[in-house]
Amino acid sequence: MPSRPVKPDQLRIIHYPDPVLRQAAEPLPGATDEVRRVAQRMLELMHEARGVGLAAPQVGLPWRLFVANPTGEPEDDQIFINPKLSSPSRENHTHDEGCLSLPNITGDITRPASITVDALDEQGKPFKLTSDDLPARVWQHEIDHLDGILILDRMPAIDKVANKQAILDLEQAAGKT
């Protein structure tokens, strides 16, 4: 965790090619008040952007934390602290995915059809969930963020070509080209 406190109200969604998106995130010591405040702000940002998940690196924090809500219903907001995936199915599914850190970019991403996630909730209690639906895809996408992996790394070459201008636009906006 950072040595100085995080100001959740100042957090914003970070866009590619910001280097924090390529860093592996560090485990958190648990569900502290600071972690809960950051997670609540991440849920707000995710909902404002009409997303279904948001990982801490996407707001500039190298923490192993993500939030998710595949339904969009407030009661379905979930916080995942130090999540770990297990039991991926042998069957894979390919679906079009986007990313809040890569606006206007989508690609066909192949992932295990079902998976299990173990994490701590906002109270620090361990929980385990298994899904073979949209939540499974969201968890895998967000944990990719925690490992510094983007959909750009997983999409087929044809999708990279189709998104070339949007990728260049993001790089130019960041002053990288």
* pLDDT tens digit sequence for 4-34: 788 999 999 999 999 999 999 999 999 999 9
Residue 142 is a catalytic residue: yes
CB 39 within 8 A of CB 67: yes
pTM of the model: 0.94
CB 20 within 8 A of CB 57: yes
Examine the pLDDT at 47 and tell me if it is beyond 70: yes
> Among residues 26, 44, 73, 142, which one is catalytic?
142
Count of residues making up the chain: 177
Q: Where are the domains of the chain?
A: 8-173
Query: pLDDT above 70 covers what percent of the chain?
Result: 97
Q: How far apart are CA 140 and CA 116, in angstroms?
A: 10
CATH number of 8-173: 3.90.45.10
